[in-house]
Structure formats: structure tokens, C-alpha cells
Chains A and B, each alone.
Chain A
Amino acid sequence: MTHDRLAAGRTLAPTAPPARKEGVSSRTNARWSLRRRLAVAVAAFGSLAVLAIVVAPLIGPTPIALGRVFDRSVPFADNVDAQIFFIARLPRALAGAVVGASLAVAGVVFQALLRNPLATPFTLGVSAGASLGAMLVITFGVPLALGGVPAVPIASLFGSLGAAGIVYAMATLRHRGLSTTVLLLAGVTLNSFFSAIIMFVQYSGDFAQTFQTVRWLMGNLDVSGFQPIAAALPLTGAAFVMFATLPRALNLLTLGGDSAASRGVDVLRTQRVAFLSASLATGAAVSLGGPIGFIGIVIPHLVRLLVGADHRIVMPASACLGAAFLVTCDVAARTVMAPLELPVGVITALTGGPFFLWLLVRRR
């Protein structure tokens, strides 16, 4: 055949002889080893998170010592240090860890789902819905408390899930499958629409309520007791179980829908699970700590710069680093202007922003 003759006559890119190929692949093998990279990343970022959670409760207006906290010779009822550590301060650190981890991973998932590095957990209207719910309860004082959980977190959770539901319905209504373009446009539109309602109600509300709403919108981890965390945990847990099934499919989604589908990925199912789990995690996190910005975008990018783009490493590493980062920022929020407490969202953006910009500039 003509092309065979031609192919034979043309110098093609040389293929390595079999012996050398063997060497390349075993070397690559060792360097690549996913398990090892995963172990290193989780060990490094995980120990940061644990360190932050243990150290954070030691810092505060009443100085306590770690040695006395874990001193078994004193009964708990008499051990003031242990009481301050476990009852007064640890819940707040754990809440920070849960919120930070949830927002960071939700950011990773939304970025992969929308194939857009600028996406955040709040891009699709989840936070605006949560804010609307919280504000309505604050302004109109709806008595919604459920099993000891106060009204504001419940309302914000329903608000966020309602917003996610609207956006999802929009994106599937007139399309075969899920349109990420419509998802993005509907989310951005819903964000502005809800913000307009919030501004309108605030404008007509009284000063005390407006102040309370604004404080809620700034994000705040002032959690007392383990109860709010326990209330958020089932949702967060369900979201993280779903997250665990996603990483490899998300890797392939970044190639594009058709390429992913032709490699055997159930694209629609992946998109559904990704959207549902990330919305759930975001909704739970926002109901616990308010819409704390910046973590969902800076942590995923920081982690990608450090460990590469493979979601099997990026997702667990982001969860650990997100937790460590938010717990640390919350310590700063409590101490920088003590006894005044800053909104933690201010700290995350003030510290994370310049650092992230520096990283971006340094890499180019």
C-alpha cells in the first residue's frame, strides 16, 4: 500500500529499545508512586491540622498549660485547665477544622465540576441562599429551633440547599444532562438576586438586626459546646463519603466531558454527586461558621502548587490544610485585638490574599 511504503521511507521519531524502556518505566514508577505521594501529603498537612487543633485551645485570655490539661492525677471536675481546654475552647477549634476542611474540599470539587479555577464554594449561590435564610430569621425572629439547634443555622442550611436546588433545576431543565454553563450563570445571577433581597430587607430593618446580620455575613466561629458541631456532622460526613468516590472521575472531567465519557466515566452521575456533595458540605459549613470567604479558592490552589493536580491527593490535602488554616486564622481573630474579636473572614482574606499573590508571582 502507498502509505506503508511512505511510512517505511520516512524517519519517524525513534522508539527506545525494549531494554531502556524497562528502565524508564521502573524509574518513573518509583517517582510517581501515588500511594507514597498521598502518604507524604496527608502526613504533612494532617500534622499541621492536628497541631493547630491542639495548640489553638491553649491560647486565650486565661493562660493554660498542655501538661496540666492532660494531667490524669487531678479529677476533671477539679482540673480548671482541662475544663477550659475541652469545654470552652476545643469546640471552637473543632468547628474551625470542620468548616475549613469542608470549604476547601468543596472549592476543589466546584472548580473541577465547572472546569474553572475561579470557582469557589459560593459561586453557585449557596452562600447567598444561606445568608438570606439567616437574615430572614434574624430580622423576623422566626422561632425555628429544632432539637436544641438554634434557628439561624437551620435557616441558613435550608437557604443554601434551596439555592443549590434552584440552580440545579435550572441547569437540568432544558438540557440533556447537566449544563455547567447554565449552572454558572444561574449561580451568579442567584447570588446577585439574593444579595439584592438581603440589602432591601437590611435597608428597611432596624439597626440592631442589621448589625447582627452584618456580623453573621462576616463569618464567625463563636461556637459554644459540641452540640452545633454534632448537628452539622451528619451532613458533613455524608458529603465526605461522597467526596471519596470522586477524585479519579474529577481528574478525567478536567479533560472535558466527551473525553471523560469515552474513557468510561459516567459524566452525568459524577456531576450530580459532585454538585450534591459540595453543596451539602458548603451548606453545613456555612450554617456552622457563616460565609467565611477565601478558603475555598486559596487552599485548593495552594495545594495544587505544592502537590500537583491529581484530585486523589489534592482533596485530602486540601481538607487538612483548610482545617489548619482556618483554625490558625481563628486564633488570630481572637487574639490580635483582644479583648475585641475580629470576624475570622477578615483574617482569612487579609493573611491568605497577599500570600497567595506572592506565590503566584514567584512561580512565574
Chain B
Amino acid sequence: MLRVADVAFAYGRQPALRDVSLDLAPGDLVGILGPNGSGKTTLLRLIGGLLRPSAGRIELDGCDLGALPRTELARRMAIVPQETQLAFDYSVLEIALMGRYPHLSTLQVEGPADIAIACAALAQTGTASLADRSFMTLSGGEKQRVVIASALAQFEPPTEGQRRDVHELLLLDEPTASLDLRYQLDVAATLRRLNAERGTAMVVSTHDLNFAASLCDRVVLLREGRILAAGAIRDVLHADSVRALYDVEAVVEDHPMVGHLTVVPFARRNVASSMNDDTR
């Protein structure tokens, strides 16, 4: 459904991404991993249509991203930022209803169908009981799940039983970076369930390797704006790639209790060898 082909981007004269390619099928869960400043957020903003690539193409369902009207784009794709700070306080239901924006004309008011969709999205993220609460009083994890519900409300609702033809894509930028462990697990579980129940495709940028390993089928490793490696997580994520990505030594292994790859970093890469590396 999504095709990123040889994309490059620069902020002014500062190059941020080069030769990035990525393919996504409906229902795929892809992680973009990399250190701070590696271009993860830039790539996500490009895919989300918030930035235009300076070279290459991004296509959604065969259409060039720049050619799609923004409301059409918003019905197929939604962005969840790392954190949402409100300037004014809205109720949780109001936040969820904001997802219906691309479906309504300027002066149109949300009808019962929109409210039902917003409530269903809240239920799917486990936040239906918060509907009347003020958003500002929620915990970080609750806020993040409500924002995910608001993003889900942008899509056509899933029909009971049969699998839909309409594809939906969720772009998540460091969704757990500002959450504590408990809420990280909450959000990860919510995302996994949405993927299983609705077939929502997701691109998740993160520097938390364990979070990515718990969630993603495939990963793209990004360093200094270039793809270091890409593929199934078990092929790509290992001690060597972690060293190349972050300059740290780490143990990468299957944990018997956890059920997915785990990464335990234990040391900065040997300074002498990294200096050799630089002079090479």
C-alpha cells in the first residue's frame, strides 16, 4: 500500500535523508530504528505528507503522495506524535471526534455515526470509560491511547466479520518515549491488538529496541540519514547491527519468558576501535 522509492530530503543545505526506500503491505508493522538525529522523524513526516521529498517518490496505494488532497490522505493515514500538549482543555470524546475532521465539510457538525465511530475507537484503545474526562487530567499512557483513538477515527470504521479493502496506516513517532514502563506496555499491547483486530498497518519510529522487537515484524535501521539495514527483525537485529547503529556493545538474544528478541546494552563501543574506525 505504501511505497517509498529512493527518497532524499534536506533541511535547507543540511541533508537529512538519502536513498531511502521502503515498501509496506496492508497490515505490516514496520519499525524505524536509529539514534537521535538519524532521520527517523523526518522519514515519518515525509511518509505522512507533512514534508515533500527533494528527490524520489512516495506512493500511497499507487498514487503519488503530493497528488492526493490532504483530506483524502487523512482518511487513509494518521500520525500519532510523541506527545500531545493541548493549548486548551477538551474532553476525551472531543479529542476522539477531532479525528472525523476529514469526513466533514467546513460547517458540518458530527452526527450520530461520527460519535459512534469515535466511541468505537475509544473502546478499541481501552479508553471508552474515560470519554467524559478532561484530556489534561489523564496520565501519559492514557493520553497516548486517546490520541491513537483519535487517529483511528480518521479511518472508515471496520465492518463486522469480513476483512476490508480499505487500507489504513498509522504513523507513530516515538510513541512510548515519554512514558514509564507500565504505560509503554499498555501502548504496545494496544497497538498489537489494533494490528490483529483491524489490520491496521503501522510505521513506528523508535530508539527503544526492545519496544520495537515486541511490536514489529520488520525493521529499518537508520543512521545519519541512510538505511544501514532493513528486513525481518530476526535477520537484521543482532549485536553487530546494534554496534553499527549506536556504537554500543549489546547482548541480543531470545528471552525464554519474553517471547521476542531482547537487547541489553552494556558498554560504549571501545574508544580505540571507534577512533580507528573514524580514521579509516
- Which of B32-40, B96-104, B239-247 forms part of the interface with chain A? B96-104
Say if the beta carbon of A261 comes within 8 Å of chain B: yes
Say yes or no: A1-B217 contact (C-beta < 8 A), given A258-B81, A259-B79, A263-B78.
yes
Say if the beta carbon of A244 comes within 8 Å of chain B: yes
- Which of B13-21, B112-120, B264-272 forms part of the interface with chain A? B112-120
Say if the beta carbon of B259 comes within 8 Å of chain A: yes
Which residues from chain B contact A141 at a C-beta distance below 8 Å? none
Interface centre among A5, A25, A258, A265 (most CB of B within 10 A): A25
Say if the beta carbon of B275 comes within 8 Å of chain A: no
A354 to nearest B CB, angstroms? 23
Which residues from chain B contact A28 at a C-beta distance below 8 Å? 93, 115, 119, 131-132
Task: Say yes or no: A12 contacts B126, CB within 8 Å.
Answer: yes
Task: Say yes or no: B81 contacts A2, CB within 8 Å.
Answer: no
B48 to nearest A CB, angstroms? 6
Say if the beta carbon of A16 comes within 8 Å of chain B: yes
In A138-178, the 8 Å CB interface with B consists of none
Q: How far is the CA of A304 from the CA of B134 in the complex (A)?
A: 13
Q: How far is the CA of A205 from the CA of B134 in the complex (A)?
A: 54
Task: Say yes or no: B126 contacts A15, CB within 8 Å.
Answer: yes
Task: Say yes or no: B196 contacts A4, CB within 8 Å.
Answer: yes
In A300-315, the 8 Å CB interface with B consists of 304, 308-310, 312
- Which of A85-93, A247-255, A287-295 forms part of the interface with chain B? A247-255
Which residues from chain B contact A12 at a C-beta distance below 8 Å? 126, 189-190, 193
Which residues from chain A contact B90 at a C-beta distance below 8 Å? 251, 254, 308-310
Task: Say yes or no: A264 contacts B70, CB within 8 Å.
Answer: yes
Say yes or no: A248-B50 contact (C-beta < 8 A), given A2-B259, A34-B110, A262-B79.
no
Say if the beta carbon of A215 comes within 8 Å of chain B: no
Smallest Cβ-Cβ distance to A1: which chain B residue: B217
Q: How far is the CA of A245 from the CA of B107 in the complex (A)?
A: 7
25 A-B pairs with C-beta separation under 8 A: A2-B259, A2-B260, A6-B214, A10-B189, A12-B193, A15-B126, A16-B123, A21-B120, A24-B128, A25-B116, A32-B115, A35-B109, A111-B87, A112-B88, A255-B84, A258-B50, A258-B79, A259-B81, A261-B49, A261-B70, A262-B74, A262-B79, A264-B74, A304-B88, A312-B109
In A218-259, the 8 Å CB interface with B consists of 244-245, 248, 251-252, 254-256, 258-259
Smallest Cβ-Cβ distance to B258: which chain A residue: A6
Say yes or no: A21-B70 contact (C-beta < 8 A), given A261-B50, A308-B91.
no
Say if the beta carbon of A116 comes within 8 Å of chain B: yes
- State how many residues of chain A have any CB contact under 8 Å with chain B: 49
Which residues from chain B contact A310 at a C-beta distance below 8 Å? 90, 94
Q: How far is the CA of A307 from the CA of B143 in the complex (A)?
A: 22
The 8 Å CB contact of A29, one of B112, B151, B189, B215, is B112
Q: How far is the CA of A312 from the CA of B97 in the complex (A)?
A: 13
Task: Say yes or no: B88 contacts A21, CB within 8 Å.
Answer: no
The 8 Å CB contact of A262, one of B48, B119, B128, B260, is B48
In B59-75, the 8 Å CB interface with A consists of 70-71, 73-75
Say yes or no: A266-B115 contact (C-beta < 8 A), given A28-B131, A309-B90, A309-B94.
no
Say if the beta carbon of B192 comes within 8 Å of chain A: yes
Smallest Cβ-Cβ distance to B105: which chain A residue: A248
Say if the beta carbon of A115 comes within 8 Å of chain B: yes
Say yes or no: A251-B123 contact (C-beta < 8 A), given A1-B217, A21-B128, A308-B91.
no
Which residues from chain A contact B276 at a C-beta distance below 8 Å? none
Which residues from chain B contact A25 at a C-beta distance below 8 Å? 112, 115-116, 119-120
Task: Say yes or no: B98 contacts A252, CB within 8 Å.
Answer: yes
The 8 Å CB contact of A309, one of B89, B112, B119, B123, is B89
The 8 Å CB contact of B87, one of A34, A112, A261, is A112
Say if the beta carbon of B85 comes within 8 Å of chain A: yes
Say if the beta carbon of B45 comes within 8 Å of chain A: yes
Which residues from chain B contact A4 at a C-beta distance below 8 Å? 192, 196
Which residues from chain A contact B98 at a C-beta distance below 8 Å? 251-252, 255, 263
The 8 Å CB contact of B260, one of A6, A115, A308, is A6
Say if the beta carbon of B227 comes within 8 Å of chain A: no
Which residues from chain A contact B84 at a C-beta distance below 8 Å? 255-256, 259
Say if the beta carbon of B181 comes within 8 Å of chain A: no
Q: How far is the CA of A5 from the CA of B124 in the complex (A)?
A: 19
Say yes or no: A116-B102 contact (C-beta < 8 A), given A32-B93, A35-B109.
no
Which residues from chain B contact A263 at a C-beta distance below 8 Å? 74, 78, 98-99, 101-102, 154
Say if the beta carbon of A361 comes within 8 Å of chain B: no
Say if the beta carbon of A7 comes within 8 Å of chain B: yes
The 8 Å CB contact of A7, one of B70, B93, B99, B196, is B196
The 8 Å CB contact of A3, one of B48, B115, B192, is B192
Smallest Cβ-Cβ distance to A254: which chain B residue: B87
Q: How far is the CA of A133 from the CA of B248 in the complex (A)?
A: 64
Smallest Cβ-Cβ distance to B216: which chain A residue: A3
Q: How far is the CA of A261 from the CA of B260 in the complex (A)?
A: 35
The 8 Å CB contact of B106, one of A7, A10, A245, is A245
B185 to nearest A CB, angstroms? 9
Which residues from chain B contact A16 at a C-beta distance below 8 Å? 123, 128
Q: How far is the CA of A31 from the CA of B171 in the complex (A)?
A: 32
Which residues from chain A contact B71 at a C-beta distance below 8 Å? 264
Say if the beta carbon of B77 comes within 8 Å of chain A: yes
Q: How far is the CA of A290 from the CA of B260 in the complex (A)?
A: 68
Q: How far is the CA of A112 from the CA of B215 in the complex (A)?
A: 36
Q: How far is the CA of A333 from the CA of B39 in the complex (A)?
A: 60
B219 to nearest A CB, angstroms? 13
Which residues from chain A contact B74 at a C-beta distance below 8 Å? 262-264
